[in-house]
Amino acid sequence: MPLPTPETDEILPLWHLAVAGDRLAFGQLAEKLYPSLFHYGTRFTTDRGLIEDTLQDLLLHLWEKRAALGGVVSPKSYLFTALRHNLVRSLRQNLVWRELPAEDRVGAGEEAEDPEWLAATLGESLAMLPSRQREALYLRYYENLSYEEIAAIMGLQRQAVANYLHNGLSRLRRHWQKIMLLLLVWTIS
Average per-residue pLDDT in the chain? 79
The length of the chain in residues reads 189
Angstrom distance (rounded) from CA 101 to CA 68: 39
Residue 161: give the domain boundaries.
115-188
Q: Assess whether 15 and 60 both reside in one domain.
A: yes
71 and 121, same domain (yes or no): no
Indicate whether 1 belongs to any domain: no
Per DSSP (E only), the strands in 68-120 are: none
Task: Compute the distance between CA of residue 77 and CA of residue 86 in angstroms, rounded to an integer.
Answer: 14
138 and 61 part of one domain:
no
- Listed range (79-83, 91-95, 137-141, 172-176) with the worst mean pLDDT: 91-95
For residue 106, being part of any structural domain is answered with no
Q: How many CB atoms lie within 10 A of CB 111?
A: 9
Do 22 and 82 reside in the same domain of the chain? yes
Same domain, 136 and 169: yes
Looking at the structure, tell me whether residues 21 and 54 fall in a common domain: yes
pLDDT at position 118, please? 61
User: Does residue 121 share a domain with residue 84?
Assistant: no
- Counting residues of the chain whose pLDDT is more than 70, the rounded percentage is 73
Question: Would the pTM count as exceeding 0.95?
Answer: no
Alpha-carbon dihedral of residues 46, 62, 57, 149, nearest 10 degrees?
20
89/22 same-domain check: yes
| Residue 103, domain member (yes or no) | no
State how far the Cα of 21 lies from the Cα of 67, in Å rounded to an integer.
8
In a domain, 110, yes or no: no
